Structure 1
């Protein structure tokens, strides 16, 4: 079976990996360099931030993220020479209004990785001595981890590009689907080239609404900009991830600390703004005052593919027999991506489902909005 995947963010790339494991041939397209949009720009926390604030459908996919990434890392690292750097730091949350829900969440959902306990200031300082003295308590999630997404993407891309059953077309804008009798017959690129496959997957993230007019449906996905800062500290300097008022610090093993993130509806604007960067910097220093002594080595912005409730669209597109969706993951694309790819592979290959597929079906919104 030959699958064409439009979009080479983490969801498109993991979909390719999953389908390759089941003997499919893959052709991948991206309008720019593969793996350089939102997937590269994110923080890499392998859990939704405040998972109790999200619908069950988001957490049902996210709970498999770490284990599946560990499996892929074990498979790909001997071939690519790149470690995803899954970093078991745990997480400290300082939002007191979330303490009660956070404490009971693991038991309510039967997700052991989300187990938490409240720390007083003495124990808090033992776990992370750099935390500001203003914080007297924290909710500690010892089992949460982060992944270094640029390394993850680089490893997957090296693996796919050397695979004999994969073909890549980067910097290739797919202009339209060639449609006949409710089937996609081929893809047409902006340069006039046509590409044929048995099945076609849309994994175009924030750009997915582009297909609404041609497919005669309203796709409720739009870009939401998020900005980030990167500090460089000594190796292993910050021992835990930290979060307060939706702002987070994520330590990498080599001493880099990722700080974010904002959320602004600015269309497809990629450029960071000075005001937002200053806000992120102040929030970071408020959490960990000692960061002030270290340099900022990078700042950037990415575009998240927002969707209603943050629940992605995974499954068959309405009115088409061989067109599939895997987009709309909003703020949790990286942690949902492995299980999203598994689910889409199960649907395309007609395998048993890991999770309730109906919760992610494009039919839940697109069918009601189908144009005449």
Structure 2
């Protein structure tokens, strides 16, 4: 079976991995370079931030993130020579209003990744002595890890590029879907080239609404900008991830610390702003005051695929026999990515599914069409 995947972010790449391992022939198209949009720009926390704030469907997929990435890293690293750097730092959350609900979530769902402990100041200092004196307590999630997403994307790209059943088409913007008899016959690039396949996957992230008119659906995906910064400290300087008021610090193994993140509805604009930079810095220095002593290496912004409730669309598109969706992950594309791709593969190949697929069904797109 020949499958064309439109979109080479983490959703498209992981979908390609899942399907090529089952003997499928894969063509991957991207309007830019592989993995250079939201997937590259994200922080890589392998859990939704404050999981209790999300629908159950988000956490159902996210709970598999660390174990599936560990499996893929073990398989891909010997070929790609790139380690994902899954960093098991745990996370401290300082939002007092979330303590009780976070601990209750842990007890209710018993997810290994969301095991949590309440810490008083003395315990907090033992786990992370760099935390500001103003924080007298926290909840600690020792099992939450982060992944170095640029390395993840590079490893998958290298693995797929050496695979005989994979063909990449970078800087190839797909503009038209040739629909005939309830299926896509071919896809056409902006330059006028036609490409043929048996099945087609739309994994175009923040750009997914562009297909609405051709598919005769309302696709409620909007770009949501998030700004980030990168500090450089000595290796292993910050022992844990930290979170407060939706701002976070994510330590990498080599001492880089990712800081973010903002939310702005500014269309497809990826220009960082001075004010947002200051807001992020203020929040980060409030958590770890000594961070002020280290240099900022980079500042950037990415575009998340904003969806109404953060629950992605995964499965066969309505009214079409050979078109599939894997988009709309909003802030959790990296942590939902592995299970989303596995679910899509299982649906396409009629296998037993990793989770109940109903919550992600694309018939929700029809509902939005009728509401317009």
TM-score normalised according to structure 1 size: 0.99
CA contact (8 A) 1:217 1:370 kept: no
Matches within 5 A, 1:1-372: 1-367=1-367, 369=369
CA contact (8 A) 1:218 1:371 kept: no
Residue 319 of structure 1, CA deviation: 1.1
Q: What is the alpha-carbon distance in structure 2 between the residues aligned to residue 370 and residue 31 of structure 1?
A: 30
Q: What is the alpha-carbon distance in structure 2 between the residues aligned to residue 370 and residue 257 of structure 1?
A: 45
> Which is further off, 358-367 or 130-139?
358-367
Partner deviation per Cα, 1:72-112 (whole Å, 9 max, x = no partner): 00000011111000000000000000001111212211202
| Uncovered stretches (5+) of structure 1, i.e. residues with no partner | none
Residue 367 of structure 1, CA deviation: 4.9
> Which is further off, 129-138 or 110-119?
110-119
Partner deviation per Cα, 1:89-138 (whole Å, 9 max, x = no partner): 00000000000111121221120221111111111111101100000001
Which secondary structure does the structure 2 equivalent of 1:309 belong to? coil
Q: What is the alpha-carbon distance in structure 2 between the residues aligned to residue 15 and residue 143 of structure 1?
A: 26
CA contact (8 A) 2:315 2:362 kept: yes
CA contact (8 A) 1:312 1:328 kept: yes
CA contact (8 A) 1:89 1:144 kept: yes
Partner deviation per Cα, 1:306-327 (whole Å, 9 max, x = no partner): 1011000001111100000000
CA contact (8 A) 1:13 1:156 kept: yes
Give the 4+ runs in structure 1 shifted more than 2 A: 365-368
Aligned residues: 372
Q: What is the alpha-carbon distance in structure 2 between the residues aligned to residue 107 and residue 30 of structure 1?
A: 43
Q: What is the alpha-carbon distance in structure 2 between the residues aligned to residue 312 and residue 279 of structure 1?
A: 29
Q: What is the alpha-carbon distance in structure 1 between the residues aligned to residue 110 and residue 301 of structure 2?
A: 35
Residue 282 of structure 1, CA deviation: 0.9
Distance 1:344 1:370, change over 3 A: farther
Distance 1:278 1:96, change over 3 A: same
Residue 371 of structure 1, CA deviation: 10
CA contact (8 A) 1:8 1:28 kept: yes
Q: What is the alpha-carbon distance in structure 2 between the residues aligned to residue 151 and residue 112 of structure 1?
A: 25
Which secondary structure does the structure 1 equivalent of 2:88 belong to? coil
How well do the aligned residues superpose, as a CA RMSD in angstroms? 1.1
Which secondary structure does the structure 2 equivalent of 1:67 belong to? helix
TM-score normalised according to structure 2 size: 0.99
Q: What is the alpha-carbon distance in structure 2 between the residues aligned to residue 131 and residue 368 of structure 1?
A: 45
Q: What is the alpha-carbon distance in structure 1 between the residues aligned to residue 276 and residue 339 of structure 2?
A: 33
Q: What is the alpha-carbon distance in structure 2 between the residues aligned to residue 218 and residue 54 of structure 1?
A: 23
Q: What is the alpha-carbon distance in structure 2 between the residues aligned to residue 29 and residue 288 of structure 1?
A: 42
CA contact (8 A) 2:206 2:306 kept: yes
Partner deviation per Cα, 1:15-74 (whole Å, 9 max, x = no partner): 000001111000000000010000000000000000011000000000001100000000
CA contact (8 A) 1:186 1:196 kept: yes
CA contact (8 A) 2:217 2:365 kept: no
